[in-house]
A = this chain, B = another copy of it.
Amino acid sequence: MKEDCVAVLSGGLDSTVMTYRLVNEGRTPLLVTFTYGQRHDKEILMAKRTAEKLGLSHLVLSLPLDNIFSSSSLLKGGKDIPVGTYSVENQKSTVVPNRNMILLSICAGIAEDRGLSKVYYGAHKNDTAVYPDCRPEFIRAVSAATEAGTYCRVQVIAPFMDFSKADIVSDGARLRVPFEDTWSCYSGGETACGMCGTCVERREAFRAAGIQDPGDM
C-alpha cells in the first residue's frame, strides 16, 4: 500500500479522528508518532493500536525534548500537571515550547524524503487560546515555511482548524471511531485522572456532542 500523505498521530482523540477521516476520504497516510518525553506516554500505545487496526504504516520516532526543555509540565521531570478547567491560565504550563513546529518540520522532511506533499495534524479551535502552535496564523505560516523549504513544496494542513472538540467527537461518531483507542489525560497515570484540563475538556466535548465516552474510565 503506497502512502500518499503524512499524518501526525499522537494517539489522542483529535489526531485519531483525523486519521479515520483521511482513510474514509480514500487517503493512505503514513502515520508518525513522537515519543518526546511526554508524561502521558500511554497515548503512544493508542496510536499503535489505531495504526494496526487501520493497517497503516507507522513510524514511532524518539525525540527526547524533556532533556532540553525545562519549562513544561507536560514533560517528564517537569512541574505537576494543573487540575481544573481548560483555561489559558490553567493550561499554560503544559505548553511544550514550539512543539508542533518541531514535529511538523520533521514530518515535512519525511514527506520530502518520500516525494509526498501533504502533512496533516489535528489542531482545533479549542486549542487556540492556550497553544500558539495551534492557531490559524501559525498553521498558515508553518505551511508557507515547509512549502518554501522543500522541493516537493510540502503543505501543512489542519482539517479541524475550524472544529471545536465537540465537533470532532461528532465527526468521530459518524466515522465509527473506536474512542476507547484514544487517550487524552495529561497526568501520566494508568487510568484517566478526570481532573486535569484535558480530562475536563474531553468530558465536556462528549457531553456537548451528546455521545457516551467509552474511554472515560
Where the two chains meet, the residues of A that have a C-beta atom closer than 8 Å to any C-beta of B are 59, 61, 63, 65, 68-72, 95-102, 104-106, 108-113, 132-133, 135, 137-138, 141-142, 144-151, 154
Contacts and interface: CB of A to CB of B under 8 A. Distances in A.
Contacts of A144: 141, 144-145
A69 B142 contact: no
Copies of chain A in the complex: 2
Contacts of A96: 109
B108 A149 contact: no
Residue with the highest number of chain B CB atoms closer than 10 Å, among A72, A96, A102, A146: A102
Given A69-B113, A99-B109, A138-B148, 15 more contacts: A68-B113, A69-B109, A70-B113, A71-B113, A96-B109, A97-B110, A98-B106, A98-B109, A101-B145, A105-B105, A132-B148, A135-B148, A141-B145, A144-B144, A144-B145
A105 B102 contact: yes
24 contacts: A63-B63, A65-B109, A68-B113, A69-B109, A69-B110, A69-B113, A95-B151, A97-B112, A97-B113, A98-B108, A98-B146, A98-B150, A101-B105, A101-B146, A102-B102, A102-B109, A105-B105, A132-B149, A133-B148, A133-B150, A135-B148, A138-B148, A141-B147, A141-B148
A100 B149 CA distance: 8
Nearest to A65: B109
A10 to B, nearest CB: 17
A112 B141 contact: no
A105 B98 contact: yes
